[in-house]
Structure 1
Amino acid sequence: MKILFSILLLNLSISAFAQEKKPNIIFILTDDQRWDALGFAGNTMIRTPEMDRLAEEGTFFENAFVTTPICAASRASILTGLYERTHGYTFGQGDIKQPYVAQSYPVKLRNAGYYTGFFGKFGVNYSGFSELFDEGEDYDRNGKYNDRRGYFFKKIGKDTVHLSRYTSQQAIDFIESAPTEKPFMLSLSFSAPHAHDPAELQYFWSSEYDTMYQNLVVPDPLLMEDKYFLDQPEYVRSGENRTRWHWRYDTPEKYQQSVKGYFRMISEVDTEIGKIRKALKAKGLAENTVIILMGDNGYFLGERQLAGKWLMYDNSLRVPLIVYDPRQIGGKRNTNFALNIDVSATILDFAGAKRPKSWQGTSLRSKELAKRKDFLTEHLWQVDIIPPSEAIRTERWKYFRYINDPEHEELYDLEADPMEINNLAADPSRQKILKELREKMEQKIAGFLKEKMD
């Protein structure tokens, strides 16, 4: 009996030690931050010292992409580890379906013994949000205001503050009050740098950032000549990408104001990340807290005389992605394809929890990542102002088409033409690769549909 009792105590001690050593995890999601909108990516104009430090001390994924370039569907993919074609969620679809939520990372983390929190823009309609996390608040820009109040409507004490400031304070409060007997997983979803669409000035930041970038002259966007706009099919030229270009970039003055505003909002988020890391250090948690940072989709800053996202060009698809683990040697650059559907698997990997077999992503820590040589990306929302489209991207090639106009195809040799200028779809010498990519994309789509039916 004494031996059995001793073994039981030993097993309990080992279990407790393992639980104690599980890392805390913070996942930070920004809204509309494109891949190069941070200093570490080579942007010499923007000031993002905290994001840069995370990249320098962690792993920076140089080829990170979303599988759907719009916030609602992309966030659903992050939540569930599934492609849009599988989970079926985007704008105008009602609530995301319960079976997919039941397999989501918040559910799996709580089952694994984590204390969970979420603050910010959830971005996915789900009536059971309040039961999904141990602590949580879902909020975004306040659309009833057509001015700066859209971003300044949350209170800390008696002060009405910008959403970025409010979100970081929610994080700090969570860190300070989280139970010490279990690890925590905190999801933070900043609304910035998303423009406040109803407002004439679009971008809003806290007053202390007013002078930041005031002496900067932002260079003209690439591919700004009429030719690159006129190369687009009519439904793109008359669609929402063009409408929002008029909101933000159609005069030199608007362009300077908008890009500087976009930078200011990112710099404000950056400052708040620094405050969160100080709170971790003060609580003695910094050395055991993993931080993952990602953007929810790419963004046009006037290229091709367009704005927004939604299209299959890399402007829309490519995002920043950093994984910082203080327990590992940092300073790494990973060139493998990394996708938004990989985030949930990565979170569970850090937590030592088993990922559902239904998930379509892989952990960013896995050697399997190096085997990914291509991926599907798609925008399936059927709405008149944004043409739905689908694409396949390999290390060298990208093929895409518009779902409602499949005869319009685009093919780019990304090795020779990384800016996607020369559409080779009509080139007789490229018909073999065009056909191969079209067939490969259709095979992937058929495979996802079969999985869904099964």
Structure 2
Amino acid sequence: MEHNLTPHKLLFCLLLLMSFSAFAQHKKPNIIFILTDDQRWDALGFAGNTLIQTPEMDKLAAEGTYFENAFVTTPICAASRASLITGLYERTHGYTFGQGDLKEVYAANSYPAKLREAGYFTGFYGKFGIQYPDFSSFFDEGENYDRNGKFNDRRGYFFKTIDKDTVHLTRYTSQQAIDFIGNAPGDKPFMLSLSFSAPHAHDPAELQYFWSAAYDTMYQNLVIPEPLLQENKYFEAQPAYVRTGENRTRWHWRYDTPEKYQHSVKGYYRMISEVDAEIGNIRKALEEKGLADNTVIILMGDNGYFLGERQLAGKWLMYDNSLRVPLIVYDPRQAGGVINPAFALNIDVPATIMDYAGVTPPKTWQGTSLRSRQLAKRKDFLTEHLWQVDIIAPSEAIRTEQWKYFRYINDPSHEELYDLRADPLETNNLAKDPAHQATLKKLREKMEK
């Protein structure tokens, strides 16, 4: 049978094909990845915290998938953020503070680079946290900014302006997101990364935490309960280099008096609540542009945080306070209300983003899509903090469903072993218990491999 297409029919077919192709591309979901700075896993109402007010995050968790066992593979912002864009462990990508630029081979295989290659319109606003000379190669639009350390007062946060009005970085980042959504091209999906600086303290400042004036009265009449494990015995159990290290130094900045402790925890909560409110504004912008039903939202913290436990502050160590983070994946196209108990890691986020975008991730990546059935097969994982600096002892750990084994890299003779089922707060170190030497040896050998 012959098919004779006139020029008009041929043009119509070509236009139809182009329209179908554009429609298919446009139906790929938009993706927003929201990263908070120092938000620990239980600084979230949905996680059971009855003090903090996070209605928007709770709504995302209730309508999406909440990963109740989410962890970072390195508990410090620089290395964790590098893992979040490369899908690799720190000992693979080699990036942390003081190590120079992120290596080009890993940058080229990062999720923002791959999504841009695949036709996504990409954006980033906030704290990038990775030293790399060609930030603009990752994103069609973006701005990399963080706390301004030149000042020891609120200017460390309030240094951005919107219409000549000086605002908190949280408000500024949200407005950048709203503008990006409003101006995003209609013929391709977008991938927007938002990296809020909150609730990170402004370290040089005496008051540490700063928030918008509208949040001054939030938590004002609340008395924050004292931290767990605050007794001297838990502090004294630490090796000398931890007792005199940065975790202790920052405890003095934030928690060493009842007044400082109340101020700091309330400030930390206020900053998270402010991010929470701006998430609501961003979702409203998606609704107004008709994009809400096709936009996946992923929310995560970049590392855990000590709030005075063991008389310590900061992160960096191998206890769950430092490692465990909130992680939520909300897909409006899927039924929500799912609580996933599997181990979920920061290195899984890039693979998840690629999965949603329909793009094959590089074979060298070490994470697994959070949508994959393979996730449930993960029974253990490695976590590490490899930065060689005097004030923070580098360390590494293996965590299974029942056990955690960790050691300090420069002092391998100091080992800690915890039965997490019997001792979830990690208070009874079994490393020298004769009854647990087989477990210790097995995990030590696994670490060596």
Which TM bucket (shorter chain)? over 0.9
Tell me, yes or no, if structure 1 residue 382 matches structure 2 residue 388. yes
Residue of structure 2 equivalent to 1:328 = 334
- Distance, in Å, in 1 between the alignment partners of 2:101 and 2:161 is 29
Aligned residue in 2 for 1:249 = 255
- Decide which of 425, 432, 436 is 1:426's aligned counterpart: 432
Secondary structure (helix, strand or coil) at the match of 1:96 reads coil
Task: Give the 5 Å matches for 1:100-115.
Answer: 100-115=106-121
User: Is 1:176 aligned to residue 179 of structure 2?
Assistant: no
- Aligned 8 A contact 2:35 2:300 in 1: yes
User: Take 2:206 and 2:130, find their aligned partners in 1: how far apart are those partners?
Assistant: 26
Identity of aligned residues (%): 81
**1:341-356 counterparts in 2 under 5 A?**
341-356=347-362
1:225 aligned to which of 231, 248, 255: 231
Distance in structure 2 (CA, Å) of the matches to 1:300 and 1:336: 24
RMSD in angstroms over aligned alpha carbons?
1.3
Q: Residue 337 of structure 1: SS of its match in structure 2?
A: strand
Partner-residue secondary structure (3-state), 1:136:
strand
SS in 2 for 1:244: helix
Q: How far apart, in 1, do the equivalents of 2:202 and 2:270 lie?
A: 14
Residue in structure 2 matching 1:43, options 49, 52, 74: 49
Q: Secondary structure at the match of 1:232?
A: coil
Aligned to 1:412: 418
Q: Quote how far apart the aligned CAs of 1:224 are.
A: 0.2
- Note the alpha carbon deviations across 1:265-324, whole angstroms, 9 max, x for none: 000000110000000000000000000000000000000000000000000000000000
- Offset at 1:9? 6.6
- What residue in structure 1 maps to residue 144 of structure 2? 138
Alpha-carbon shift at residue 16 of structure 1 (Å): 2.8
Query: 1:449 matched to which residue of 2?
Result: none
Cα offset, 1:160, TM superposition? 0.5
Which consecutive unaligned segments of at least 5 residues does structure 2 have?
none
CA distance in 1, matches of 2:301, 2:38: 6
TM-score (norm 1): 0.96
User: How many Å apart are 1:140 and its aligned residue?
Assistant: 0.2
- Matched residue type, 2:218: M
2:210 is aligned to 204
Q: Aligned equivalents of 2:318 and 2:359: distance in 1?
A: 34
Taking the aligned partners of 2:214 and 2:163, their CA distance within structure 1 comes to 19
Q: Equivalents in 1 of 2:77, 2:448: separation in Å?
A: 24
- What CA distance in whole angstroms lies between the structure 2 residues aligned with 1:291 and 1:132? 20
Instruction: Quote the residue 1:27 is aligned against.
Output: 33
Q: Please tell me the residue identity of whatever aligns with 2:315.
A: K
Amino acid at match of 2:37: D
SS in structure 2 of the partner of residue 297 of structure 1? coil
Q: 1:358 is matched by which residue type in structure 2?
A: T
Task: Report the Cα offset of residue 439 of structure 1.
Answer: 0.9
The equivalent of 1:264 in structure 2 is 270
Q: CA deviation at 1:7?
A: 8.0
Indicate the residue corresponding to 1:450 in structure 2. none
Are 2:216 and 1:194 equivalent residues in the alignment? no
Give the distance between the partners of 1:34 and 1:335, measured in 2 at CA. 17
1:363 CA displacement: 0.3
- Superposed displacement of residue 17, structure 1: 2.9
- Tell me the secondary structure at the aligned position of residue 185 of structure 2: coil
Indicate if the aligned counterparts of 2:66 and 2:340 stay in contact, CA closer than 8 A: yes
Cα distance per residue 1:13-34 (max 9 Å; x no partner) = 5433321210000000000000
Write the distance in 2 (CA, Å) between the matches of 1:269 and 1:191.
Answer: 10
Question: 2:22 touches 2:187 (CA, 8 Å); kept in 1?
Answer: no
The answer to whether the 8 A contact 2:298-2:327 is kept is yes
The aligned amino acid for 2:139 is F
CA distance 1:287–1:429, shift in 2 (3 Å): same
Aligned AA for 2:445? E
Correspondence 1:367 to 2:367: no
Which string of whole-angstrom CA distances, capped at 9 and with x for unpartnered residues, describes residues 320-362 of structure 1? Answer: 0000000001010000000000000000000000100000001
Find out whether 1:401 has 2:401 as its counterpart: no
- Secondary structure (helix, strand or coil) at the match of 1:338 reads strand
Give the SS at the match of 2:281: helix
Question: Which residue identity lines up with residue 393 of structure 1 in the other structure?
Answer: R
Return the match for 2:98 from 89, 92, 97.
Answer: 92
Per the normalisation by structure 2, the TM-score is 0.97
Partner SS for 1:391: strand
Q: How many residues align structurally?
A: 443
- Over residues 216-245 of structure 1, what are the superposed CA-to-partner deviations in whole Å (9 max), with x where a residue is unaligned? 000000000000000000000000000000
Deviation at 1:111, TM superposition (A): 1.2
Instruction: Return the alpha-carbon distance in structure 2 between the equivalents of residues 141 and 167 of structure 1.
Output: 12
